Amino acid sequence: MIKLLLAVMLSAWTLSTAATETIKIYSPYNAAHSATPALFRVVEQANASQSIYRFQVEFRPGGNQTIALRSMEPETGLAIIAPAFVENVRSGKLTEQDYVPVHAFGNACWAVITNKPLAGAKEFVAGGVGLGNATHLTALALGEKHGFDVRYILFKSNNDALVNMTGNNGVEFVIDKYESYQALKTKNPRMRMIAASCPSRLPQEPGIKTLAEQGVLAPYVFNITVAHRLMPRARRVAIADILNTATKNIGAQEIFELSATRPPVFDGVGAEEFYRDSVQLVEKLQNKYQSKINNAN
């Protein structure tokens, strides 16, 4: 009887210790990024709600998202990406066929920032981290709408483009977080936000129209969690359910306050559909402006 009891206890202990599996989420950002507090909050809620998986955030900035993606363990890892920059992902070893969206926690409302008026402009110097990405495509679409040419300069990071923008002969157009616009405006009153790159207007700037309201077709920037397609489907579905339930339990308002976003909260299928639509829009615009992209920088 004692042996049987010990065997049962050992079996229960083995199951309990084996039940918790670490799932690392590789972020292309750093701890100071505006998306990080919301990500940490989702992970905290997800870990508190169950004991099957323990989610852990690892920072892998750089490489236009590819470092974070390549760090992902195929069967147990996740990564955060912004699909508006999917062309940068294609330049790495992983392609969009290699991963599947499982969770979206925020639709980042970025500011379209300039330091000179649009009216009468013949050319704008735009700066960003990749050819044909959200900044580049938005600049080209605005140029088509308002009749100006775009000269595009590549930088290692958006922050480098923002720093260059404060000079007299540097970048004149960027897309970045609203907090970046506020900081630039403090240093240089000439900085203007001319559009909101998101589905609805920023509550901080209700008088500034979205790109769509201005008749400009451009991709939104949003953060989505992806898993490698080699991850077993049952695990992927379970993780998607845990992360999306955690996000819903936190609530859209708290996520908004943490990350200055208007988050669409998806289930796994919704995230995949939104991701697919965003990629298709990026591809459509890249094809439309292919010659201008090829001639840039």
CATH number for the domain harbouring residue 55? 3.40.190.150
* Alpha-carbon distances of 258 from 26, 35, 40, 66, 142, rounded to whole Å: 19, 8, 10, 25, 30
Task: Say how many domains are in the chain.
Answer: 2
What's 134's domain CATH number?
A: 3.40.190.10
Give the model's pLDDT for residue 247.
Answer: 81
* Alpha-carbon distances of 269 from 98, 196, 200, 266, 293, rounded to whole Å: 17, 27, 23, 7, 32
Q: Write out the two tokens for 288.
A: 């439309």
Q: Which of 203, 219, 235 is the last residue of a domain?
A: 219
Beta strand pairing call for 173-177 and 110-114: antiparallel
Task: Write out the residue range of the structural domain in which residue 130 sits.
Answer: 110-219
Q: Kindly compute the dihedral angle of the four CA atoms of residues 192, 198, 199, 200, in this order, to the nearest 10 degrees.
A: -40
Cα–Cα distance measured from residue 82 to residue 220, given in angstroms and rounded to the nearest whole number: 9
For residue 73, the 8-state DSSP code is -
Does an H or E element contain 226, and which? Answer: strand 223-228
Does an H or E element contain 67, and which? Answer: helix 66-71
Q: Please report, in tens digits, the pLDDT of each residue of the chain (297 residues total).
A: 554 444 444 444 444 444 689 999 999 888 877 678 888 888 999 999 999 999 999 999 877 677 888 899 999 999 988 766 554 444 444 555 678 888 876 556 678 888 888 777 888 888 887 788 778 888 899 889 888 899 888 887 777 888 887 665 578 888 887 878 888 888 888 888 999 887 778 878 889 998 989 999 887 766 788 898 899 999 998 998 898 888 878 765 565 555 544 444 444 445 666 667 777 788 888 889 888 888 875
Q: Which of 219, 243, 268 is the last residue of a domain?
A: 219
What are the residues facing 114 on neighbouring strands?
Answer: 173, 192
Q: Which of 219, 246, 272 is the last residue of a domain?
A: 219
**97 and 31 fall within a common domain:** yes
Single-letter amino acid, residue 12: A
Find the angle CA(207)-CA(210)-CA(211) to the nearest 5 degrees: 140
Q: Is residue 1 part of a domain?
A: no
